[in-house]
Amino acid sequence: MRIGVHVSIAGHIYESLDRAHTLGCNTMQIFSRNPRGWQISKIPEADVKEFSRLKIKYDINPVVVHIPYLINLATPDDKLYKKSIEAYIEDVKRADILGAEYFVTHLGSHVGSGEDNGIERFSNALNEIIRRAKLKTMILLENTAGWGDGIGYRFEHLKRIIESQAHPADIGVCLDTAHTFAAGYNIREKAGLEETLKSFDKLLGLERIKVVHFNDSLSEFDSHVDRHQHIGKGRIGLAAMGRIISHPKLKNAAFIMETPKESDKDDKRNIATAKRLTKA
């Protein structure tokens, strides 16, 4: 089974693989640059080669790159919309250059223009991005908690976006457990987990889930508040997290944690907990 965490890219980007390996990961997620800015610089060719070498050496697969925070493909603001599309193309090309398997994408905010408008804007942008970027890396849509004007908190939103694409089979999903719970899918209960997976399978097909963001939730059920917690320490709880990570219908997904961290000890503890749950 593939279990990992989100890892820092401080220093040279290939050092993220050393960090992941030291933590005991066999998969990982990174930002490929500063996620809170617009500036994008070229990755040195030597760094790309070393990244590829270490990825093979440590057998870290898949490598997942997460979209930066400022990009908003659902915005009604035309200036930000165009800027977001151009930045997205550059970012996903960086993921391609690194040989990353997946590019995880939050769906953005409609900023008061309405969900239908936000979904249409996102869908049109994604079609343009894929047409222009000519990717090898697969784009994964990440479900959200549904705070404020965000889209993507219902599986139906993901379905509409995927069905709008010129090549829908090329789009996957990253299922975030904390977001799913906060959005009103009761995965804390055994019956609720089964119903959630059944609903997802009917709408999208479970084979689309390539990555699970394996996060407990500090927020209450159906709160629409996105706050992650250590595995087993949140509102979802240890027993439910165990049912999720050991569920046979999710066995082919990579489980990556985005849990709070003050030091490497937090990541090591959560990784150990996740691995233990797979054997329970």
Model confidence over 177-186: pLDDT tens digits? 999 999 999 9
All structural domains of the chain: 3-279 (3.20.20.150)
Task: Return the HEC string of the chain.
Answer: CCEEEECCCCCCCCHHHHHHHHHCCCEEEECCCCCCCCCCCCCCHHHHHHHHHHHHHHCCCCEEEECCCCCCCCCCCHHHHHHHHHHHHHHHHHHHHHCCCEEEECCCECCCCCHHHHHHHHHHHHHHHHHHHCCCCEEEEECCCCCCCECCCCHHHHHHHHHCCCCHHHEEEEEEHHHHHHCCCCCCCHHHHHHHHHHHHHHCCHHHEEEEECCEECCCCCCCCCCEECCCCCCCCHHHHHHHHCCHHHCCCEEEECCCCCCHHHHHHHHHHHHHHHHC
Q: What is the pLDDT of residue 103?
A: 98
Tens-place pLDDT, residues 13-60: 999 999 999 999 999 999 999 988 998 889 999 999 999 999 999 999
pLDDT of residue 62: 98
pLDDT along the chain (280 residues), means of 10: 97 98 98 91 96 98 97 98 97 97 97 97 98 95 96 98 95 98 98 98 98 98 98 98 98 97 94 94
pLDDT of residue 44: 97
Distances (CA, A) of 177 to 87, 217, 240: 28, 8, 10
At 279 the pLDDT is 85
